[in-house]
Structure 1
Amino acid sequence: MCGIFGGININQKAFDTMGKAIDHRGPDSKGHFFHRNVKIGHRRLAIQDVSNGKQPMSSNGFIISFNGEIYNHHSIRKNFLGDQVFHTNSDTETLLKLFINLGIDGLKLIDGMFAFVIYDLEKNKLIMGRDRAGKKPLYVFHKDSKLIFSSELNSLKKGVSDIDINHDIIVEYLKCGFISESNTPYQNTFEIMSGELKIFDISLNTFETRFFFKIEEFYKRKSRVSLVNAIDNVDKLLHKGIKNRLTASDLEVGAFLSGGIDSSLIVAIASKYVDSIKTFTVKFDGSNDESFYAQITSNQYRTDHHELKIKMDLANDIEKIVSAYGEPFFDNSAIPSYYISKEAKKYVTVILNGDGADELFGGYRRHIISNNFTSKIGKALYYIFKYLPRSRNKESYYTYIKRFSTLARKRGLDKYIRLTTDIFSDYYDFDNTKLGPLLIENSNKSFNKLDEVLIADFKYLLFSNLLVKMDIATMQNSLEGRSPFLSKYLLEYVPTIPERHKVKNFKSKYLLRKLAKKYLDPRLIDLPKRGFELPLNYWINDILKDVIFDYLSPDNTFSSNFVDKSFINKLLSNPNSFDANKREKMLWSLLTLEIWYKNLSK
Structure 2
Amino acid sequence: MCGIFGTLNLAVSNRASEIFSGLYHRGPNAKGLSIEDNVELFHTRLSIQDLNVTGRQPMHHHGLTIVFNGEIYNHMELRKEYGLYAESNSDTKTLLMLFELMGMKMLDKLDGMFAFALYDQFRNELFLARDRAGKKPLYIYSEGNGTAFSSELNILNQIFRPEIDYSSLSGYLYLGYHYRKATPYKTVMELENGHYLKINTKTGKQFQIKWFDMSSCYQHNNRLSYEESIDELDRKLKLSVNRRIDSSDLEIGSFLSGGIDSGIITAMAALHKPSLKTFTVRIDGSYDESPLALQVAQKYDTQHTVVDISFSDLKNNIEQILINYGEPYCDSSAIPSYYVAKAAKKYVNVVLNGDGADELFAGYRRYVPFKYFDFFNSGKLSKISAKILSGVLPTAHEKKSSYNYIYRLLKFASYSDILKTYSAATSDIMVGYEDQFLIDPDLDDINDDLRRINQLNLSPLNKLLLMDFQTILFSGLLSKMDIATMAHSLEGRSPFLSKELLEFAPGLADHYKINGLNTKYILRDLSRKYLPGDLIGQPKRGFEIPLKNWVENQLKDIINDYLLSGDAFYPSIIRKNFVLDLIAKRINISEEKRAKILFDVFALEVWYKNISRSNLSGVHLEASLMQV
Which category describes the TM-score, using the shorter chain as reference length?
A: over 0.9
Contact 1:412 1:438 (8 Å CA) reproduced: no
Matched residue type, 1:398: Y
Aligned length: 599
Matched residue type, 1:35: E
RMSD: 1.6
1:469 counterpart residue number: 480
Question: Once the two structures are superposed, what CA deviation does each residue of 1:556-599 show, in whole Å capped at 9, x if it has no partner?
Answer: 32111111111111111125632211110110000000000000
1:495 counterpart residue number: 506
Question: Once the two structures are superposed, what CA deviation does each residue of 1:502-552 show, in whole Å capped at 9, x if it has no partner?
Answer: 112211111111111111111111100001121111111111111111111
Shift of 1:283: 1.0
Matched residue type, 1:54: R
Q: Which has the higher helix share?
A: 2
Q: What secondary structure is seen at the aligned counterpart in 2 of 1:272? A: helix
1:20 counterpart residue number: 21
Contact 2:68 2:92 (8 Å CA) reproduced: yes
1:434 counterpart residue number: 443
Shift of 1:391: 4.6
Matched residue type, 2:422: Y
Match of 1:561 among 567, 572, 594: 572
Shift of 1:87: 2.8
Larger CA deviation: 590-599 vs 181-190: 181-190
Larger CA deviation: 177-186 vs 384-393: 384-393
Matches within 5 A, 1:180-329: 180-312=179-311, 313-329=313-329
2:619 counterpart residue number: none
Question: Once the two structures are superposed, what CA deviation does each residue of 1:57-103 show, in whole Å capped at 9, x if it has no partner?
Answer: 000100000000011111000002x1x44131111100111122111
- Cα distance in 1, alignment partners of residues 194 and 395 from structure 2: 43
Q: What secondary structure is seen at the aligned counterpart in 2 of 1:103? A: helix
- Cα distance in 1, alignment partners of residues 211 and 526 from structure 2: 30
Q: What secondary structure is seen at the aligned counterpart in 2 of 1:465? A: helix
Matched residue type, 1:196: H
Q: What secondary structure is seen at the aligned counterpart in 2 of 1:174? A: helix
Matched residue type, 1:44: R
Matches within 5 A, 1:529-544: 529-544=540-555
Matched residue type, 1:426: G
Question: Once the two structures are superposed, what CA deviation does each residue of 1:242-286 show, in whole Å capped at 9, x if it has no partner?
Answer: 000010010011000001000000011112211121100011222
Question: Once the two structures are superposed, what CA deviation does each residue of 1:170-212 show, in whole Å capped at 9, x if it has no partner?
Answer: 0110111111111111111111111111111121111012122
**Percent of aligned pairs with the same amino acid:** 43
Contact 1:575 1:583 (8 Å CA) reproduced: no
Shift of 1:224: 2.1
Contact 1:56 1:64 (8 Å CA) reproduced: yes
2:73 counterpart residue number: 71
Match of 1:401 among 384, 399, 406: 406
1:450 counterpart residue number: 461
- Cα distance in 2, alignment partners of residues 500 and 133 from structure 1: 24
Larger CA deviation: 223-232 vs 461-470: 223-232
CA distance 1:492–1:195, change in 2 (3 Å): same
Question: Once the two structures are superposed, what CA deviation does each residue of 1:433-470 show, in whole Å capped at 9, x if it has no partner?
Answer: 33322554345342110111111111111111100000
1:93 matched to 2:104? The reply is no
- Cα distance in 2, alignment partners of residues 400 and 70 from structure 1: 41
Shift of 1:555: 4.0
- Cα distance in 1, alignment partners of residues 384 and 266 from structure 2: 43
Contact 1:439 1:452 (8 Å CA) reproduced: no
Contact 2:382 2:414 (8 Å CA) reproduced: no
Question: Once the two structures are superposed, what CA deviation does each residue of 1:352-386 show, in whole Å capped at 9, x if it has no partner?
Answer: 00000000000111211211235377766655554
CA distance 1:379–1:291, change in 2 (3 Å): farther
- Cα distance in 1, alignment partners of residues 505 and 58 from structure 2: 35
Shift of 1:236: 0.3
Question: Once the two structures are superposed, what CA deviation does each residue of 1:453-497 show, in whole Å capped at 9, x if it has no partner?
Answer: 111111111111100000100000000000000000100111111
Matched residue type, 1:508: T
Contact 1:360 1:495 (8 Å CA) reproduced: yes
- Give structure 1 stretches of 5+ with no counterpart: none
1:33 counterpart residue number: 34
Contact 1:2 1:26 (8 Å CA) reproduced: yes
Matched residue type, 2:105: D
1:130 counterpart residue number: 130
Q: What secondary structure is seen at the aligned counterpart in 2 of 1:3? A: strand
Q: What secondary structure is seen at the aligned counterpart in 2 of 1:316? A: helix
1:338 counterpart residue number: 338
Matched residue type, 2:569: F
Larger CA deviation: 362-371 vs 386-395: 386-395
Shift of 1:409: 1.6
Q: What secondary structure is seen at the aligned counterpart in 2 of 1:441? A: helix
Contact 1:62 1:118 (8 Å CA) reproduced: yes
Q: What secondary structure is seen at the aligned counterpart in 2 of 1:406? A: helix
1:418 counterpart residue number: 424
Contact 2:359 2:469 (8 Å CA) reproduced: yes
- Cα distance in 2, alignment partners of residues 444 and 253 from structure 1: 43
Contact 1:10 1:146 (8 Å CA) reproduced: no
Contact 1:6 1:15 (8 Å CA) reproduced: no
Contact 2:115 2:130 (8 Å CA) reproduced: yes
Shift of 1:234: 0.6
Matches within 5 A, 1:357-372: 357-372=357-372
Contact 1:99 1:107 (8 Å CA) reproduced: no
Q: What secondary structure is seen at the aligned counterpart in 1 of 2:271? A: coil
Contact 1:18 1:156 (8 Å CA) reproduced: no
Question: Once the two structures are superposed, what CA deviation does each residue of 1:382-439 show, in whole Å capped at 9, x if it has no partner?
Answer: 5555444445421223212211211222221111100110011123445543332255
Matched residue type, 2:419: L
- Give structure 2 stretches of 5+ with no counterpart: 615-628
Larger CA deviation: 60-69 vs 141-150: 141-150
Contact 2:169 2:441 (8 Å CA) reproduced: no
1:57 counterpart residue number: 59
2:591 counterpart residue number: 580
- Cα distance in 1, alignment partners of residues 12 and 594 from structure 2: 46
Matches within 5 A, 1:373-412: 373-374=373-374, 375=378, 383-384=388-389, 386-410=391-415, 411-412=417-418
Shift of 1:159: 2.3
- Cα distance in 2, alignment partners of residues 279 and 575 from structure 1: 46
Contact 1:356 1:483 (8 Å CA) reproduced: yes
What's the TM-score, normalizing by structure 1?
0.97
